[in-house]
């Protein structure tokens, strides 16, 4: 807090706060301009190398010499390594359409984002798909790499749900955002010797990654969220909030295979949140049931009989190598962790 001297005007603190905000905004704009200029420069260097290689013997020895000469001329710039020149060439080859590079989704990302797209994806349309979502959702490089590794483009909107039937007009778009199948939880990085408290701790510490796996725009409200209904106590595994659609999202985790009765409990929780927490301005609450596996037909029948808007997804560790999958806890262990003593300080 600013301590004002007697001779300073009374509105000085407010003015200083405003000016600090203006400086930070200018810094952010300048950073974006610098990033855009660097992306354009790297594309142009890559394009030049490609053009020369079409007509001249520009092999690896020439690129080695080019990297040395550029580093000598511009010693304070760190981007002129031999490997990065190859990345620039690949970047120009990947984005070779008529539109300027700065007008593409990649032109709005950092160079590290673009290197990840180049190294992990061969298909141009997939690169554009992930680049657009990285821009729109503000993904870090680590999140982008995770989404590519776990094939988000095949999982988005794939979970069975009744959102369109229960929320006409918005359910289809909402399903694309929240109905992901399967959820990939390999980032928890636990071993088979982990006790329940360690699993709880890992999930709490990795909440940012957990929310990112659910999708963009989720905020964490609480774990084992307590509901009291006329003297009876109930505990919701995870209570989230989906900011873009302004609604609560109830998440329940069940070990093993999906059973129709699982949706009965989730229906109850969604109805209770609507009645006890939801404000008139907020959109209807949605429920997500996360289970170890499911029979699609059984899920469809159960969803048809559910009054509340729900989606059912499975979770997997299949993105990890086989030897690492073997070290992770079973679905039963994760469920046991979520159903721990609600008085735990981790819920505070």
The pLDDT, as a whole number, for residue 327 is 40
47: part of which helix (H) or strand (E)? Answer: helix 12-55
d(CA 290, CA 254): 6
210 in Cβ contact with 345 (< 8 Å)? no
Higher per-residue pLDDT: 55 or 330 = 55
Which backbone phi and psi does 78 adopt, to 5 degrees?
-95, 0
What is the structure's pLDDT at 90?
A: 92
What tens digit of pLDDT does each residue of 173-223 get?
666 666 655 555 555 554 433 333 443 455 556 666 667 777 778 888 888
Q: What is the DSSP letter of 284?
A: P
More confident residue, 158 or 48: 48
Quote the Cα angle for 199-314-330, to 5°: 35
Instruction: Look up residue 296 and give its two tokens.
Output: 């699609």
Ranking 57-71, 77-91, 118-132, 143-157 by mean pLDDT, the lowest is: 143-157
Average pLDDT in the chain: 76
The DSSP string of 174-201 is HHHHH--SSEE-GGG---TT--HHHHHH
Q: Which of 203, 227, 201, 225 is nearest to 214 (CA)?
A: 203
Q: Residues 216-272: pLDDT tens digits?
A: 788 888 888 888 888 889 988 888 888 888 889 898 877 667 888 888 889 899 999
Beta strand 218-229 with 247-257 is unpaired
pLDDT of residue 118: 92
Q: 137-183 pLDDT, tens per residue? A: 777 787 788 778 777 777 766 666 677 667 776 766 666 666 655 55
What pLDDT, in 10s, does the model give residues 8-20? 777 788 888 888 8
Which of the four pLDDT bands, split at 50, 70 and 90, describes residue 98? confident
**Judging by beta carbons within 10 Å of its beta carbon (0-12, 13-18, 19+), is residue 252 exposed, middle or buried?**
buried
Per-residue pLDDT at 276 = 92
Whose structure tokens read 């142009």? 44
HSE-up (13 A, CA, CB side) for residue 317? 19
């Amino acid at each position: 807090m600013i301590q004002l001297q007697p001779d300073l005007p009374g509105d000085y603190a407010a003015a200083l706060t405003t000016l600090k905000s203006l400086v930070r905004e200018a810094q952010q704009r300048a950073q974006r301009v610098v990033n855009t200029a660097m992306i354009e420069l790297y594309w142009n260097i890559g394009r030049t190398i490609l053009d020369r290689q079409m007509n001249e013997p520009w092999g690896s020895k020439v690129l080695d010499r080019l990297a040395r000469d550029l580093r000598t001329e511009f010693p304070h710039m760190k981007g002129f390594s031999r490997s990065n020149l190859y990345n620039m060439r690949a970047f120009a080859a990947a984005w070779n359409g008529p539109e300027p590079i700065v007008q593409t989704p990649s032109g709005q990302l950092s160079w590290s984002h673009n290197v990840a797209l180049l190294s992990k994806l061969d298909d141009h349309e997939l690169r554009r798909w992930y680049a657009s979502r990285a821009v729109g959702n503000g993904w870090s490089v680590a999140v982008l790499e995770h989404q590519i590794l776990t094939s988000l483009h095949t999982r988005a909107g794939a979970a069975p749900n009744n959102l369109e039937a229960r929320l006409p007009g918005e359910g289809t778009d909402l399903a694309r955002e929240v109905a992901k199948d399967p959820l990939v939880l390999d980032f928890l990085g636990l071993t088979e010797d982990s006790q329940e408290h360690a699993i709880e701790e890992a999930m709490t510490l990795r909440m940012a990654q957990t929310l990112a796996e659910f999708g963009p725009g989720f905020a964490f409200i609480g774990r084992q969220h307590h509901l009291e209904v006329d003297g009876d106590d109930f505990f919701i595994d995870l209570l989230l909030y989906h900011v873009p659609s302004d609604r609560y999202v109830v998440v329940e985790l069940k070990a093993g295979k999906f059973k129709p009765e699982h949706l009965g409990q989730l229906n109850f929780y969604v109805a209770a949140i609507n009645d006890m927490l939801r404000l008139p301005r907020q959109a209807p609450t949605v429920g997500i049931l996360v289970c170890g596996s499911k029979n699609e037909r059984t899920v469809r029948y159960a969803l048809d009989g559910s009054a509340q808007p729900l989606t059912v997804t499975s979770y997997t560790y299949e993105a990890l190598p086989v030897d690492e999958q073997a070290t992770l806890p079973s679905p039963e262990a994760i469920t046991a962790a979520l159903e721990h003593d609600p008085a735990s300080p981790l819920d505070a």
